[in-house]
């Protein structure tokens, strides 16, 4: 007999995304899904910037894009702007898209390096449509022909995560998911196997299931409090351990990108939505007090705060096993990596996708768990290295935190990657993992790691050809941006604006 009943514990972004993903796939198979959430406990209520992969998730659910954007008051996102990371005063955009396009199998950036290393002035950004469009506050959809400049990019959203959860709740309930309100106070185990048999709520009701998805947030009610799975602590590499989040009134036109500004003891985010701007300060408590953090955060808001700052505590790392016995931890219960590259919702999505692909065919799910854990561990590891890159590819030394990173011993996987880049602009590739070479290039080049060498094959071409080819790509990119509408206009035309905001504005 296979899985008959699933219990999802938690109704935050992770819980409702899981409920939507699973009900979409398993509803017609008669598998019963119950989600338990507690109004008293609430959700973390942050997490508003996403990666392009979320579009695939929504598409698989059959969600209409404009409707979803209205419901979540979403804006488009072409990338992340990083300020003050390489040096104070620096800025660059990490776009969702390639720089130029490979020529005869040679990655484009090597042609750029040849220009640079021969004394030509050339900005890498000139070869990226999404960077130029973001800078100009513009947006349109990528065209179908991805070989064209101005079409080979991806985009994501910045949205109100509370509204996204609510939206997916409606979706899930329409597909048979039962929602229960209440606090889980106890779990009962199967005598023989030690698996979790049921959970009991504070009002005495209990839910029996074959498979439990723990989406209970940082607590990890089942995966940790009950199963004591253990946590792999990565704070040695990513030591920031607190955050404060506060929304404020938006000022100026809505921008199609997120901003992450480095500070002396952490970094600050700015996420523009339709109706407000989300802000937050992620910091290392060793080097700044909560009060100072509040002060810094509040003094840098672009408009009046619309709520009190919310204090959050965390430890970077991940659960030793994300799937242990009959419990799968998805979301913050599984691990936390700071939101510098908007990876948490992506990792939730990966967890759901892998769970669907490896959905247990029987109650004996040890093998499914072993493959699930292998895949997800790799995903987490690779995100960790990429996040760490931002802190160590820097020339900053102006505070104890930055000096800490300067003296850090890096994981081999990362130091080899950086050295290969520095020496010859070479980017190690992998197949499984979210950040492809262009992302690594964006961050390393954006933070002033400029290679000494390049791929020698570019030198087999006449310099004049290289100049003509790169010029033409830069011209095409700029021309494509010139004909792109403003982000705000596009949102309106697309029917993506929540009507209640339109009314309020008029």
Partner 1 sequence: MVPAPLTSIAILGGGLAGAFAAARLARSLPDDMTLTLVDVPGAEAKDLFFGTVTTPAAYNVMLALGLGEPEVLPQTDTTFSLGTQYSWAGREWVQAFHQPLPVMAGVQFHQYAARARQDYADFVMSVAAARRGAFAHPPEGQKTPLAELEYGYHFLPAQWAKLLHDALPARVERVAGEVASVDTEGETLRSVKLEDGRTIEADLFIDAAGVWSAPGSGWTGGSMIYAEESLTPAQGPVGVVRTLQQLDYGWSATTPLRTGTHTLTASKSGEGLKLGRSDRAWIGNVLSFGLLATGADPLTTAPMTLLMRNVESLAELIPFTTDMRVEAREYNRRHRDDFDHAHLFERAFGTEGYPDRLAHKIEQFESRGALVQYDLEPFEAQDWLLLHLGMGRIPKARDVLADRVPDAQLHSQLATMRRAVETVAAKLPPAKVYHDGLLRYLGKRNA
Ligand X SMILES: Cc1cc2nc3c(=O)[nH]c(=O)nc-3n(C[C@H](O)[C@H](O)[C@H](O)COP(=O)(O)OP(=O)(O)OC[C@H]3O[C@@H](n4cnc5c(N)ncnc54)[C@H](O)[C@@H]3O)c2cc1C
Choose, by CB under 6 A, the member of 97, 130, 217, 220 that binds ligand X. Answer: 217
CA 24/CA 176 separation, integer angstroms: 9
- Bridge partners for 5 per DSSP: 32
Q: 300 burial class (0-12, 13-18, 19+ CB within 10 angstroms)?
A: middle
Active site residue 77: yes
Choose, by CB under 8 A, the member of 361, 415, 472, 500 that binds partner 1. Answer: 361
Q: 191 burial class (0-12, 13-18, 19+ CB within 10 angstroms)?
A: exposed
Choose, by CB under 8 A, the member of 1, 62, 89, 104 that binds partner 1. Answer: 104
CA 348/CA 387 separation, integer angstroms: 17
- Bridge partners for 270 per DSSP: 259, 279
Q: Which residue do the tokens 């990019």 mark?
A: 153
Where in 392-451 is the site for ligand X (CB under 6 A)?
none
- Of 70-78, 211-219, 455-463, 476-484, the window that binds partner 1 (rule: CB under 8 A) is 455-463
Q: How far is the CB of 460 from partner 1 (least distance, A)?
A: 5
CA 445/CA 438 separation, integer angstroms: 10
Choose, by CB under 6 A, the member of 3, 7, 12, 323 that binds ligand X. Answer: 12
The residues, ordered by sequence, that sit 6+ positions from 485 with a Cβ below 8 Å of its Cβ are 138, 139, 140, 493
Q: Which one of partner 1, ligand X, none interacts with residue 367, CB within 5 to 8 A by kind?
A: partner 1
Q: Which one of partner 1, ligand X, none interacts with residue 38, CB within 5 to 8 A by kind?
A: ligand X
With CB under 8 A as the rule, give the number of residues binding partner 1: 40
Query: Any contact of residue 431 with partner 1 (CB under 8 A)?
Result: yes
Maximum C-alpha span of the chain: 78
CA 279/CA 282 separation, integer angstroms: 10
Length of the chain: 506
Query: Any contact of residue 269 with partner 1 (CB under 8 A)?
Result: no
Q: Which of the following is catalytic: 77, 138, 318, 417?
A: 77
Where in 4-43 is the site for partner 1 (CB under 8 A)?
25-26, 28-29
Choose, by CB under 6 A, the member of 3, 6, 7, 13 that binds ligand X. Answer: 13
Query: Any contact of residue 52 with ligand X (CB under 6 A)?
Result: no
Choose, by CB under 6 A, the member of 207, 227, 301, 345 that binds ligand X. Answer: 345
Query: Any contact of residue 385 with ligand X (CB under 6 A)?
Result: no
* Per-residue contact flags (x/-) with ligand X for residues 228 to 257, judged by CB under 6 A: ---------------x-x------------
| CB-based contact 20:168 (threshold 8 Å) | yes
Choose, by CB under 6 A, the member of 31, 78, 215, 288 that binds ligand X. Answer: 215
Which CB, 25 or 148, lies closer to partner 1?
25
| CB-based contact 483:138 (threshold 8 Å) | no
Tell me how many helices (H) and strands (E) the chain has: 15, 21
Choose, by CB under 8 A, the member of 457, 475, 492, 493 that binds partner 1. Answer: 457
CA distances from 276 to 69, 254, 255 (A): 14, 9, 12
Query: Any contact of residue 279 with ligand X (CB under 6 A)?
Result: no
With CB under 6 A as the rule, give the number of residues binding ligand X: 40
Query: Any contact of residue 210 with partner 1 (CB under 8 A)?
Result: no
Give the pair of three-digit tokens for residue 478: 């700029």
Q: Single out the residue of 354, 330, 329 nearest to residue 432, CA to CA.
A: 354
Q: Which one of partner 1, ligand X, none interacts with residue 10, CB within 5 to 8 A by kind?
A: ligand X
* Per-residue contact flags (x/-) with partner 1 for residues 56 to 95, judged by CB under 8 A: ----x-----------------------------------
Give the pair of three-digit tokens for residue 163: 């509204």
Give the pair of three-digit tokens for residue 240: 């920031």
HEC assignment per residue over 359-407: CCCCCCCHHHHHHHHHHHHHHHHHHHHHHHHHHHCCCCCCCHHHHHHHC
Q: How far is the CB of 133 from ligand X (least distance, A)?
A: 21
Q: Which one of ligand X, partner 1, none interacts with residue 28, CB within 5 to 8 A by kind?
A: partner 1
Angle at alpha carbon of residue 485, lines to 483 and 487, rounded to 5°: 145
Sign of CA dihedral 172, 176, 181, 185: negative
What amino acid positions are annotated as catalytic residues? Answer: 77
Question: Contact positions toward ligand X, by CB under 6 A?
Answer: 9-15, 36-38, 41-44, 46-50, 161, 183-184, 215-217, 219, 221, 243, 245, 280, 312, 314, 331-333, 339, 342, 344-345, 348
Question: Contact positions toward partner 1, by CB under 8 A?
Answer: 2-3, 25-26, 28-29, 60, 104-105, 356-362, 367-368, 370-371, 374, 416, 419-420, 423-424, 426, 428-432, 452-457, 459-460
């Amino acid at each position: 007999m296979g899985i008959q009943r699933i219990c999802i514990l938690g109704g935050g972004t992770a819980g409702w995304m899981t409920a939507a993903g699973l009900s979409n796939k398993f509803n017609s198979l008669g598998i019963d899904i119950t989600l338990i959430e507690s109004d008293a406990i609430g959700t973390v209520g942050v997490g508003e910037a996403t990666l392009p992969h979320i579009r695939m998730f929504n598409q698989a659910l059959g969600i209409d894009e404009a409707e979803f954007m209205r419901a979540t008051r979403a804006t488009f996102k072409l990338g992340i702007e990083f300020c003050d990371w390489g040096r104070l005063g620096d800025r660059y955009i990490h776009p969702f898209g390639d720089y130029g396009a490979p020529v005869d199998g040679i990655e484009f950036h090597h042609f750029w390096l040849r220009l640079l290393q021969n004394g030509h002035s050339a900005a890498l950004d000139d070869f990226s449509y999404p960077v130029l469009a973001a800078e100009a506050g513009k947006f349109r959809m990528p065209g179908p022909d991805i070989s064209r400049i101005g079409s080979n990019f991806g985009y994501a959203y910045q949205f109100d995560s509370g509204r996204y959860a609510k939206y997916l709740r409606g979706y899930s309930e329409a597909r048979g998911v039962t929602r229960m309100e209440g606090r889980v106070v106890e779990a009962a185990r199967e005598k023989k196997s030690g698996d979790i048999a049921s959970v009991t709520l504070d009002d005495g009701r209990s839910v029996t299931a074959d498979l439990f998805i723990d989406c209970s947030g940082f607590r990890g009610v089942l995966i940790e409090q009950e199963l004591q799975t253990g946590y792999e602590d990565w704070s040695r590499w990513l030591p920031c351990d607190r955050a404060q989040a506060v929304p404020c009134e938006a000022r100026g036109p809505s921008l199609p990108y997120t901003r992450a500004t480095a500070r002396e003891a952490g970094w600050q985010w700015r996420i523009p939505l339709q109706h407000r701007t989300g802000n937050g300060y992620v910091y290392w408590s060793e080097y700044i007090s909560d009060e100072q953090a509040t002060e810094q955060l509040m003094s840098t808001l672009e408009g009046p705060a619309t709520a009190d700052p919310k204090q959050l505590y965390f430890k970077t790392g991940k659960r030793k096993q994300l799937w242990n016995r009959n419990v799968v931890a998805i979301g913050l219960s599984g691990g936390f990596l700071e939101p510098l590259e908007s990876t948490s919702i992506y990792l939730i999505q990966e967890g759901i996708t892998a769970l669907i692909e490896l959905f247990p065919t029987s109650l004996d799910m040890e093998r499914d768990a072993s493959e699930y854990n292998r895949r997800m561990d790799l995903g987490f590891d690779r995100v960790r290295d990429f996040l760490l890159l931002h802190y160590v590819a820097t020339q900053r030394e102006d505070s104890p935190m930055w000096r800490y990173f300067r003296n850090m011993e890096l994981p081999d996987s990362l130091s080899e990657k950086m050295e290969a880049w520095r020496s010859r602009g070479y980017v190690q590739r992998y197949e499984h993992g979210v950040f492809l070479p262009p992302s690594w290039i964006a961050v390393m080049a954006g933070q002033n790691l400029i290679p000494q060498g390049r791929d020698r094959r570019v030198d087999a071409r006449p310099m004049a050809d290289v100049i003509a080819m790169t010029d033409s790509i830069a011209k095409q990119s700029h021309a494509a941006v010139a004909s792109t509408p403003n982000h705000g206009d596009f949102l309106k035309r697309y029917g993506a604006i929540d009507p209640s905001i339109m009314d309020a504005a008029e």
